[in-house]
Every structure is written in structure tokens, then in C-alpha cells.
Structure 1
Amino acid sequence: MAVFSAASQAGIGLRQPHYQALMADLPPLGFVEVHSENFFGDGGAALAVLQAARAHYPVSLHGVGLSLGSASGLDPVHLDKLARLVERIDPVRVSDHACFARGAWPGGDTVHASDLLPVAFTPASLDILVRHVDEVQSRLRRPILIENLSAYLSYQDDRLAEPDFLVELCRRSGCQLLLDLNNLVVNGLNAARRAQPDSVDMAAAKAHALTFVHALPAGMVGEVHLAGFRWPLQPGQVVVDDHSTAVHAVVWELYAEAIRHLGPAPTLIEWDTDLPGLDVLRDQARQADEVSASVLAPAGASA
């Protein structure tokens, strides 16, 4: 019976349509990753499936709701629920995003945007993120990972380059980076489209992403995400990071360079919409292992 593969660093996002197939087939994988908030209940079928999967695979908990960049502070109820889930599952990693999703209206009412909104790359935003990452790590009694965003806007008061901002966050808080390479390519494509709305400048997008990767020090990246994106349907529309397709060729090229520069890291195939069969995800995870092995093979050796 195939279970967790110590030889593999690649995992897949575990989504509800694949629960039955995963537990029936138990394909060899490095880990499975789930969205933390989907398992905050104190019981039920979803949590039972996750606990069953945990018996066979390491589990990575990837959150979308901590709102670490929010000036209105963390939601203590959300953090308590995450802490209970961490205690139940004992995940191999816990992660969330460098973003905000909640804020306070004048008068004190707090609202949640249900989206990953980018923070300004300023010293003030950095102080907020460091404070909140420290609070979460103290509550969970473990370091966490913070993911770079696919962002569709920026701020006029940005003062720091994004990689410098995230490096400083990791240095000051002791967290690691969850490096989403697809997000880098999407951001690069959208930057190119702002300059030339009717063009698709993949070379410029790759160069943008490589500059980001090469600005990171070895040892800072604790996990890598690979995914697909949706092409614009009409001129002037943005490229959308919707995780709806196989990993794009340019993202594979970027992944090889990231491994070359940063060293190996656990790698997730992230696919959230238009889900294929489990075998497709497993093939993508196998390809990630093959790319990593090829890059790290000694000169003259056969990967």
C-alpha cells in the first residue's frame, strides 16, 4: 500500500472532490495541503477525512483568513480556531499570506473582505506584519510561513521592493517565506499588460519573477507553490491567478531556477478550480520532483 513518500518533496492540494480517491489509492506523495478554514469545525466529515489523511501523509495547513497585515489587529476567534486545528493535526507547516482582509469602520465595527488584499510595502506595514506574525507564532508555538501575493493593485506610498520587504519580515519575525512562483509570473504579466494592454510579454514576466527569486537568500523559503492561471478573455483585462490549469511552462522554468538558487523545498501543486482527476495532480507532483532532481543532480550524473 503506497503512502507518504520520503523520496518526494512534492505534494498536492487536497480538495473535497478527491477525498475518496486519495484515501482509496493512497498515491505516493510528499505531503497534502488543505485550506485551514475549511476544517475549523470541532467535528464532522471534513475533519474526519483530514485526520484519516494525516495518518498516511504529512499535512500542511494553508490559511487565507488570518489577515496578518490588518491595522485593526488579528481576530482572536480565528486564531483560537487555528490553534485548535494545529493541535489536532500536528501539521508539518502552517502558512498564510502577506495581506489584509479585515478593517474597522469609523465607530469601531470590523468588517472582513473575504479576499487577500495587498499591503503597502512601507515600514509601517512591515511593523504591523511583524507584530502579528510574532503573535501567531507565540500562540501556535511554532514558526509559520508567509506567502507572497498575486496583487492587482499597488500603492503610491510603496517604499520597499516586495522581496526586500518579505526578507525583512522573515529576518525580524523568524518566519519563513512560502514562495508562490505562479504569483510572481501573474504579477509580471499584469505589469507588462499595463505598459502594453494588448500584448502578452512572457519574457518580461519571467525576468520580473527571476529578479524577485534572486533577491531571496538561501534558507528563507520553506515551501514553494506552483499553479496555473487564467488568460484574459478580452484586451485590457488582467491575468487572473485562479489555479484553474496545469502549471505553465514558464513557471516550470522559473521553478528550476528557484531550486538552483535557493535549494530544494517542499513543493505544492495548487489547483482549486476546474479540478482534474487525482492522477493529473499526481503527475504534476511527479514532474516537480523530476525538475528538482534534475537541477540538483551532480554534473554528469543522470537524474
Structure 2
Amino acid sequence: MHPTLPNAPGIGFKPQHFAELTADPGPVAWIEVHAENYMGDGGRPQAQLAHLADRMPVSVHGVGLSIGGEDPLDRDHLDRLARVVDRAGAASVSEHLAWSSHGGAYFNDLLPLPYTDATLARVAAHIDQVQDRLARPILLENPSSYLSFTESTWSETDFLAELTRRTGCGLLLDVNNVFISATNLGLGATDYIDTFPLDRVGEIHVGGHDRETDETGAPLLIDSHGKPVADPVWTLLDYTLARSGPRPVLVEWDNDVPDWLVLRDEATRAADALDRLPERMETRRWA
């Protein structure tokens, strides 16, 4: 049996926070690490991860499998991922609904996919391959979108639901990504949540984003993970939790990483959202 994540706040672990996280985690009950940062043998990263894994559950989040790509999965990369998962005794393993490599070239980005039957079959096959190698289900994360494909024949939420049905995988619901995509594409963020297969959600993420404008003056949000979570994203988290029930909630902050106390305060806000949940769910039940 694998360990499980608690329905409590987690943070994306950064090495500069190691001493303070160990000494005073505050509301932080679990951590996430990016798998690719721990694929080496030995050294300080492995020692820190082993130390923390003895004290709290670990979620391993991959960013390099290119699970939506047209090329076959890189078996060596998948083997390295499996070693990280085993070392960490991972409570959760996740990847992105995106592609990042093609023809032997790696692009340092998570690129979007058209939602077609052909894409569905390819991504499902890749998920099956990953789950067979890891001998466990994974979670697949919804992307942040900056455009839509005219060739798409599935909505994103239906596409994700069908992937869970075909493969048995779970979902990682990034609420910040939902807010970004809805703003950029002119959609309703709560409408998206209402159609999302919430029963398949194993983790929820929130993070910061940057606000720019496009050439027409319309708002353009960028998934930067470099600042505090915006108030509308916290509001959308409340909306989501009231429908999903309690879930593990991760605060992501990957760029311009702040001092520990700033990140801990963000985790405290996630804890407050979970603490208020019973009252909100009761209000919704009688609405």
C-alpha cells in the first residue's frame, strides 16, 4: 500500500527552506518535489528528500515526460522517474496534460494539445505505459491555456473525464490554471469547475500568476508561479472545495521564491480555506 496525502496544505519544497521547514512547518502537512530535480545519484538533494520523506508525505510532480507528445515516451526518463518515486515513498505522482519534446528536441515549456480522438488515444496509451512502469495510478494536471484549437472535438473537462475512464488515472486540479484559462479564453471559471470530474481529483493546486495585456488590450494571464495567490483564485478554491469536499491543497511558488514565512503564510491561507469548508458545504446543501 502506498501512503496517502492528507486533506491539508502542502507546499512545493525549495532547498533554501529546508532548515525552517524542518524546524517549524506550521500548517504544512506534506510537500511536493519536481521529479527532475532529484534524478541524480546522491548529494544534498537526495539527503534532504530522504530526511523530509521520513517526516511527511511527498508528492512527486513530473514536468518532463511529455505525456501528450507524438513521440514515444523516453523509457530512460521514465525509469529515472520510477527511481525518484521509490526513493521518496511517494504518496502521489502527477504529470501534465501537455507536451514538451519532439523529434529528440526538448522545449522548456508545457505546450498545449488539441482535444481530438487521436490525441485521446495517444495520451491514454502513454498514461497506461507510465502506470504500468510505476505500478500505480498517476494524477494528470489540467493545463493553463493561452489559445484554443479549432480542430478540438472534445471539451477539456470531457477529455479529462474520458482519460480517467479509459486509464483509471486520477486528476490534479490546478485552480490557478482554471482561472488563467478562463480569463484568456473568455470562459467561465465556475462553469469549468461545475463540469470537472471532481470525484477523480487527488490534489488541488493554487499558485500565482502575472497579468499582462494582448495586442487588443484584453487581459492575458501568465502562469508564472512567482508571486502570492491572487484573491480571485482563493475565491475559486473556496467554490471548488465546496463542491469537491476536502482535498490536499498545494501552494506552488517556483520563481522569485520568497522567504519561508511568506510561503508559510500562503499555506496558512490554504489551511483556513479547508477549515471553513464544513460551514460552506452546509450552506450549499441548504441553498
TM-score (norm 1): 0.86
Write the distance in 2 (CA, Å) between the matches of 1:40 and 1:16.
15
SS in 2 for 1:279: helix
Cα separation, partners in 2 of 1:7 and 1:150, compared to 1, 3 Å: closer
Matched, 1:220 2:200: yes
Write the distance in 1 (CA, Å) between the matches of 2:278 and 2:24.
30
Q: Quick one: which amino acid aligns to residue 112 of structure 1?
A: Y
Write the distance in 1 (CA, Å) between the matches of 2:180 and 2:193.
14
Which residue of structure 1 lines up, in the alignment, with residue 58 of structure 2?
59
Q: Quick one: which amino acid aligns to residue 260 of structure 2?
A: L
Which residue of structure 2 lines up, in the alignment, with residue 211 of structure 1?
191
Matched, 1:186 2:166: no
Q: Quick one: which amino acid aligns to residue 268 of structure 1?
A: L
SS in 2 for 1:56: coil
Gaps of 5+ in 1: 1-5, 105-109, 193-204
Which residue of structure 2 lines up, in the alignment, with residue 171 of structure 1?
165
Which residue of structure 1 lines up, in the alignment, with residue 242 of structure 2?
260
Which residue of structure 1 lines up, in the alignment, with residue 35 of structure 2?
36
SS in 1 for 2:154: coil
Contact 2:225 2:255 in 1 (8 A): yes
Q: Quick one: which amino acid aligns to residue 62 of structure 1?
A: H
Write the distance in 2 (CA, Å) between the matches of 1:275 and 1:115.
19
Contact 1:8 1:29 in 2 (8 A): no
Write the distance in 1 (CA, Å) between the matches of 2:92 and 2:102.
27
Cα separation, partners in 2 of 1:218 and 1:187, compared to 1, 3 Å: closer
Q: Quick one: which amino acid aligns to residue 112 of structure 2?
A: P
Q: Deviations over 1:152-205 (max 9, x none)?
A: 23222111111110111111111111000101111122224xxxxxxxxxxxx6
Which residue of structure 1 lines up, in the alignment, with residue 80 of structure 2?
81
SS in 1 for 2:179: helix
Contact 1:66 1:96 in 2 (8 A): yes
Write the distance in 2 (CA, Å) between the matches of 1:28 and 1:259.
18
TM-score (norm 2): 0.91
Write the distance in 2 (CA, Å) between the matches of 1:27 and 1:283.
9
Contact 2:170 2:200 in 1 (8 A): yes
Q: Quick one: which amino acid aligns to residue 120 of structure 1?
A: P
Contact 1:32 1:59 in 2 (8 A): yes
Contact 2:146 2:185 in 1 (8 A): no
Task: Report matched runs for 1:13-32 at 5 Å.
Answer: 13-32=12-31
Write the distance in 1 (CA, Å) between the matches of 2:182 and 2:197.
21
Task: Report matched runs for 1:1-303 at 5 Å.
Answer: 9-104=8-103, 110-192=104-186, 208-232=188-212, 235=217, 238-297=220-279, 299=282
State the identity %: 40
Write the distance in 1 (CA, Å) between the matches of 2:172 and 2:8.
14
Write the distance in 2 (CA, Å) between the matches of 1:159 and 1:79.
30
The CA deviation at 1:129 is 0.8
Contact 2:147 2:185 in 1 (8 A): no
Cα separation, partners in 2 of 1:7 and 1:186, compared to 1, 3 Å: closer
The CA deviation at 1:215 is 0.6
Q: Quick one: which amino acid aligns to residue 220 of structure 2?
A: V
The CA deviation at 1:151 is 2.1
SS in 2 for 1:239: strand
Contact 1:13 1:270 in 2 (8 A): yes
Aligned residues: 276
Q: Quick one: which amino acid aligns to residue 172 of structure 1?
A: R
Gaps of 5+ in 2: none
Moved over 6 A (4+): none
